[in-house]
Structure 1
Amino acid sequence: MSPREAVEAFLRHFSAERAPSAHTLAAYRRDLDKLLVFMEAEGLSSFDALSPERLRMMIARAHRGSGKGKDDGLQPASIQRLLSACRTLFRYLSREGLLAHDPAAAVRGPKVRRKLPDVLDADEAKALVETNLGGSLAPRDSAMMELFYSSGLRLSELCGLHWSDLDLEEGLVRVLGKGSKTRILPVGRFAIKALQDLAAAGGNGPDQAVFKGRDGGTISPRTVQARLAKLSLGHTKRVHPHMLRHTFASHMLESSGDLRSVQELLGHADIATTQIYTHLDFQHLAKVYDAAHPRAKRKGSRS
């Protein structure tokens, strides 16, 4: 089996086993294509011929770029994603008996400085979800924003909702998340009221989409993004859907301190993904400390 055939077999297996989103699958394909192009350029006809030294060479070249453009090299986060795709491929090949050693076992990528997500404070969130531009879209706008902030849904989860996924009497919503994993989430009273108002406006059959586009079908992610951008005009921050999810997570953690529960609510497979919100909370506390303590002014602190 050639390296290219092996990658195609892996992608079929990955798609069937993990049910990734189309975006994730496309990213894996692009990253592994970089590996195949490198191997072809180096005359490597099998993965067993790929050594850790060769893999480091590939990473260095990807990071450096072609030199034709100032910034055509991959950034550290993209390098780490490339390495992750390679490691997942090599694990699969080893299980299938197609690879005798793991070329990535001793290879480390550049350190990634994790950027903290931008969030709204409680007053900003309240002002946003109470924004009403009027017109026929007002009930839909209100229900979308309230549900985003109430339950921390991903954009794809919100767009895919049908009325049969909601139990407004119990205050629950069932969502289909990453990897086709289902989770049940609580819905707050303001979101329940907004959804009830939307249902009363018509078109709330069990198999119908909760949030509809112009053609009456499921609303597109791009439409939601554009609508939130319009609704946030005049506010302190330009809002995108994931900012409301970040805001939900930050406010939940700030109030409860229960990292595991927030992880479950967000549908994160790895708690390390959720832990970024603890940094947000500390950042807030550090600012309060610096502003209030008479002997605070720590080295490198910003008031």
Structure 2
Amino acid sequence: MHRDARQAVQEFIAYLRGEKRASAHTVGNYQRDLLRIQTFCGEHNIETWQQLQSSDIRLYIGIRHKNEIGGRSIQRELSAMRSFYHFLLKKNWVQHDPLQGLHAPKSPKKLPKTLDVDQVAGILDTKPGSVLEIRDLAMFELFYSSGLRLSELVMLDLSDIRMADGFLRIRFGKGNKERLVPVGAKAVDALNKWLALRPEVISMAVFVSQRGARLGQRSVQQRLARWCVKNGVAEHMHPHMLRHSFASHLLESSQDIRAVQELLGHSNISTTQIYTHLDFQHLSKVYDQAHPRARRKDVVK
């Protein structure tokens, strides 16, 4: 593509980092997605973003789908392109949006993998054997106690802890939304134990490495995997399984999907509704007890 077109991408990425304050994860995804479409444009002699048409994007979607790229991944790429074109239109660098009315191929929704209460207890009711493991246990307790995303946990600062009120402030939720989440007694205890041992460092991060730097997402994933191996947990674990388990267990006990939506930080309740499948047994029982034509009578032989 023309140099100005490539420069426009770089300015958009700078805009995401600066004005939008998007997370490093989001910025990285957008950068990769726009590089793919940029490569596609180069292969099809499209020199500017103004030249890109809806038919070109349909071709791009078709190629990605043919290469067995899932619908959710393609939808994310289209989302990146939509944000990019909104930026271009705002700057008056293009006169049309070629993405209007375009949708990615639908893919079946994958149900989140969760743990039962006993499995969670097997992971969390283990005595840590070192300062680092005390830190790790505090992280894992927070995932399950408060339903944090991995990105939200690593971005926690000391000023976000409101222990007296039993809350955490999440400042970098999805879509840059802020929310308060409660912290359970077990998580409060684990967090207090870590904070008592946390090294005095310049970083304001709650969870820091031995060198005093803020822990990255990959480090947290590796520590959870190591914890599970050490404690004989056969299940392949990742932090979101604890978040999913939090949502499932809370919904099962409370039946309050709106409250669970707020705690998870979901913008749309349809995202939260995926957890209702896990409580189908309870719903079936309620139906049998409540519906006037659902009650089964003994069959007369």
Amino acid at match of 1:87: R
SS in 2 for 1:49: coil
Select 1:30's aligned residue among 25, 29, 32: 32
In the alignment, the residues of structure 2 paired with residue 75 and residue 17 of structure 1 have an alpha-carbon distance, to the nearest angstrom, of: 31
* Aligned with 2:185 (options 186, 189, 194): 189
Q: Matches of 2:73 and 2:188 in 1, distance apart?
A: 40
Q: Determine the structure 2 residue equivalent to 1:223.
A: 219
Deviation track 1:92-120 (CA, whole Å, cap 9, x = no partner) reads 33333333332122322211222111111
Q: Partners in 2 of 1:148 and 1:60 — Cα distance?
A: 38
Q: Deviations over 1:122-161 (max 9, x none)?
A: 1211222102243444432332222221111222332333
Q: Out of 271, 274, 283, which is 1:273 matched to?
A: 271
Query: How far apart, CA to CA, are the structure 2 residues paired with 1:163 and 1:271?
Result: 30
Question: How far is the alpha carbon of 1:176 from its aligned partner?
Answer: 2.6
Name the residue aligned to 1:301.
none
Contact 2:128–2:134 under 8 Å retained in 1: no
**Match of 2:112, as an amino acid?**
P
Instruction: Work out the CA distance in 1 between the residues paired with 2:194 and 2:221.
Output: 19
Write the mapping of 1:201-280 to structure 2, written as runs, cut at 5 A: 201=197, 203=199, 209-233=205-229, 234-235=232-233, 237-280=235-278
1:45-84 correspondence to structure 2 within 5 Å = 45-65=47-67, 73-84=68-79
Deviation of 1:185 after TM superposition, in Å, equals 1.5
Q: Percent identity?
A: 42
Determine whether 1:16 maps to 2:18: yes
Give 1:53 deviation, angstroms. 1.7
Shift of 1:54: 1.9
TM-score by length of 2: 0.80
Note the C-alpha offset of 1:7.
Answer: 2.7
Spell out, residue by residue over 1:30-58, the C-alpha distance to the aligned partner (whole angstroms, 9 max, x if none).
21122222222222233333222222112
Is residue 163–residue 207 contact of structure 1 (8 Å, CA) maintained in 2?
A: no
Q: Distance in 2 between matches of 1:153 and 1:228?
A: 15
Provide the aligned length of Structure 1 versus Structure 2.
284
Letter in 1 for 2:44: E
In structure 2, relative to structure 1, the CA distance for the partners of 1:252 and 1:135 (3 Å cut) is same
Q: Distance in 2 between matches of 1:78 and 1:33?
A: 15
Out of 79, 86, 92, the residue aligned to residue 91 of structure 1 is 86
* 1:47 match: secondary structure: coil
Is the contact made by 1:225 and 1:240 (CA closer than 8 Å) also made in structure 2? yes
Distance 1:135 1:98 in 2: 56
Partner residue of 2:124 out of 112, 118, 129: 129
Change (3 A) 1:17 1:59: same
SS in 2 for 1:20: coil
The DSSP-based 3-state class of the residue aligned with 1:239 is coil
Deviations 1:189-210 (A, max 9, x none): 1112222333444647996543
| Paired residue type of 1:51 | Q
| 8 Å Cα contact 2:131/2:197 also seen in 1 | no
Counterpart selection for 1:143 from 131, 138, 144? 138
Q: For residues 181 and 75 of structure 1, do their structure 2 counterparts lie closer, same or farther at Cα, with a shift above 3 Å needed?
A: closer
Deviations 1:199-240 (A, max 9, x none): 444647996543332224433433322222232232352322
Query: For residue 225 of structure 1, what is the amino acid of its counterpart?
Result: Q
Unaligned stretches of 5+ in structure 1? 66-72, 296-303
List alignment gaps of at least 5 residues for structure 2.
287-293, 297-301
The residue number in structure 1 matching 2:155 is: 160
The CA RMSD over aligned residues, in Å, is 3.1
Alpha-carbon distance in 1 for matches of 2:17, 2:269: 24
Q: 1:184 Cα shift?
A: 2.0
Instruction: Specify the SS of the correspondent of 1:174.
Output: strand
CA offset at residue 244 of structure 1? 0.9
Contact between 1:130 and 1:142, CA under 8 Å: does it hold in 2? no
